[in-house]
Amino acid sequence: MNIGLDNKTRTTIVGMLNLILADEYVLYFKARKFHWNVSGPLFDMLHNGIFKNIYERLEETTDEVAERIRALGGYPLSTMTEFVQHARLKEAPGVDAMDARNMVFELLNDYETLIRIMRENDKNISGMGDSVTSGYIQTLILQHEKTAWMLRSSVK
């Protein structure tokens, strides 16, 4: 493969992207879980609105990240076991005891964590000369910042 990035650089970037992919999948399933289990006065706004929008967008994001990994000559993590093992975000067990506001705060915390991680990844990837992946990470940051703002605003 000769796309202007050496094998070591591509391998390093693929590793970073696979960690992002794992985090995005954990976040996707957490949003799905909250969508299924939310109750109370915020039900409609969260079930039919915010949570649904989040998991639909994350479904697209995971596909895009995996395709970027393939474009760089790598292979994306592809099993639930791999996602959970590599993700920096944690699943939310026992959701039946979590109220709607706490679900929102859980997702907000995860989004803010991912934004910080991706900012650091972007610095590293940019320094490796991969402006395409850097630009893609910046787009993800922008999308995640918007989602974090919506989550923050929904529970004020």
Read off the pLDDT of residues 36-93 as tens digits, 9 standing for 90 and up.
999 889 899 899 899 999 999 999 999 999 999 999 999 999 999 999 999 999 988 7
Residue 2 domain-assigned? Answer: no
What's the pLDDT score for residue 3? 87
- The answer to whether the CB of 44 falls within 8 A of the CB of 100 is no
Task: Give the domain range for residue 68.
Answer: 7-154
- Number of domains making up the chain: 1
What's the pLDDT score for residue 69? 98
Global pTM? 0.94
Read off the pLDDT of residues 86-97 as tens digits, 9 standing for 90 and up.
999 998 877 567
What's the pLDDT score for residue 94? 73
CATH number of the domain to which 147 belongs: 1.20.1260.10
What's the pLDDT score for residue 93? 75
pLDDT at 28 over 80: yes
